[in-house]
Amino acid sequence: MTGFWSGRRVVVTGGAGFLGRVVVRKLEELGATVAVPRSRDYDLTQPGVAERLLADTTPTHVVHLAARVGGIGYNQVEPAPLYLHNLLMGTHMIEAARMAPSVDKTVLLGTVCSYPKFTPVPFREESLWDGYPEETNAPYGIAKKAHLIHAQVNAQQYGQKFAYLIPTNLYGPGDKFHPSVSHVIPARIKRCVEAVEQGETKLDVWGTGTASREYLYVEDAAEAIVLAAETYEGTDPVNLGNNREVTIRETVELIAQMVGYTGDLVWDPTKPDGQPRRRVDPSRAEALFGWRAQMPFEDGLRRTIDWYLANRAEAEREP
Ligand SMILES: NC(=O)c1ccc[n+]([C@@H]2O[C@H](COP(=O)([O-])OP(=O)(O)OC[C@H]3O[C@@H](n4cnc5c(N)ncnc54)[C@H](OP(=O)(O)O)[C@@H]3O)[C@@H](O)[C@H]2O)c1
């Protein structure tokens, strides 16, 4: 990738977020000039703001990561903004990028939450439209999926260039540990660490533990975004995953073991499991732009726990 990014100007919306910070660092290391708009200055849900952002920054590339994102609890209490804000932000950015003379390509982030609730495992991109998503994920997943259609029709009619990537659940250093938005890995790390500190012998965990997830290390996801921004020219969506399915029970037991929690885990089947199974087929990403996830899950988890223990105030900051 050396050389390509030198002299390019990139806007990374959501560039101050969990994934965004890593993408920004990688692009800057490769020589790009990166603008990171903050929501307080550029609220992308508002009409005209995306156009103003691109006029102010004249980027060659747009990486659109800005989103409202959270775990299953957040999805349950905030379904309306999860749908509307995500839909509006992507719609505004796609359209503004199409109209901006400087923009060559736009990278859009989809989500594994867009897949139908019951999808043959591993999820292939062809299955994206074969059914309704798991109910708690649907507002977010459908809003994100609409951006794919928007980008595809713009490509067909106006020749707009884009890449649409579908990552599985992200994790890693820099993740959000505040309970209002945390996903399963940071939520469980925080609770297990607290349980050890407070000498608790019983820890409640949502769901049955039988649902499965696939976790993608944040550095691997960022690497794919940069690669796709440089080299991928197609209009088909592309999965990003690490090819390993882990049950929630295995996830929580591994975290408990790594942080030294030896008490009981009490599963609460009255709380939702979310989607029953998740693992994507990542072979298209390798075939189209030579990407493959590198981080083994145990190593990534260890790094995440170490980062959390060293940065608790920052990790637990209220969003
Ligand atoms: N985390 C995951 O497990 C996961 C999995 C699959 C896909 N994704 C996708 O990956 C992308 C990044 O996720 P993330 O976990 O890094 O999210 P994050 O840490 O919550 O960051 C999201 C960023 O979006 C910005 N934003 C929110 N509302 C905005 C608005 N109205 N106008 C402008 N900017 C706004 C925020 O900027 P400010 O800080 O300036 O407010 C924030 O930094 C998202 O598109 C998400 O859908 C994430």
CATH code, domain with 84: 3.40.50.720
Q: Which two tokens stand for residue 14?
A: 């959501």
CA gyration radius, the chain: 19
| pTM over the 0.85 mark | yes
Burial of 260 (0-12, 13-18, 19+ CB in 10 A): exposed
At 71 the pLDDT is: 83
Domain that holds residue 144: 9-315
Query: What is the tally of structural domains in the chain?
Result: 1
Ligand 1: distance of its center to the CA of 218 in Å?
A: 13
pLDDT of residue 248: 96
CB 302 within 8 A of CB 241: no
**pLDDT of 233:** 85
pLDDT in tens, 14-54: 999 999 999 999 999 999 999 999 999 999 999 999 999 99
140 part of the active site: yes
Between residues 2 and 169, which one has the greater pLDDT? 169
In a domain, 3, yes or no: no
Give the atom of ligand 1 at the shortest distance from the alpha carbon of 170: 3
* Band (171; pLDDT cuts 50, 70, 90): very high
- Indicate whether 2 belongs to any domain: no
- The string of pLDDT tens digits covering residues 198-243 is 999 999 999 999 999 999 999 999 999 999 999 998 999 999 999 9
Q: Does the C-beta of 43 come closer than 6 Å to ligand 1?
A: yes
Closest C-alpha among 278, 297, 282 to residue 113: 278
Residue 231 CB: number of other CB atoms within 10 A?
14
The band of 56, judged by pLDDT with boundaries at 50, 70 and 90, is very high
Residue nearest to atom 36 of ligand 1 (CA): 14
Q: Does 1 reside within a domain?
A: no
4 belongs to a structural domain: no
Give domain status of residue 176, yes or no.
yes
Nearest atom of ligand 1 to the alpha carbon of 16: 43
What is the overall mean pLDDT for the chain?
96
pLDDT at 59 over 60: yes
pLDDT in tens, 244-297: 999 999 999 999 999 999 999 999 999 989 889 999 999 999 999 999 999 999
pLDDT in the model for residue 75: 87
Domain membership of residue 16 (yes or no) is yes
Confidence of residue 2 (pLDDT cuts 50, 70, 90): low
Residue pair 97/21 in contact (Cβ under 8 Å)? The answer is no
In a domain, 236, yes or no: yes
175 assigned to some structural domain: yes
- From 65, 115, 175, mutation site for ligand 1 pocket: most ligand atoms within 8 A of C-beta: 65
Closest CA to 262 of 271, 253, 250: 253
Q: What is the pLDDT of residues 115-156, one digit of tens each?
A: 999 999 999 999 999 999 999 999 999 999 999 999 999 999
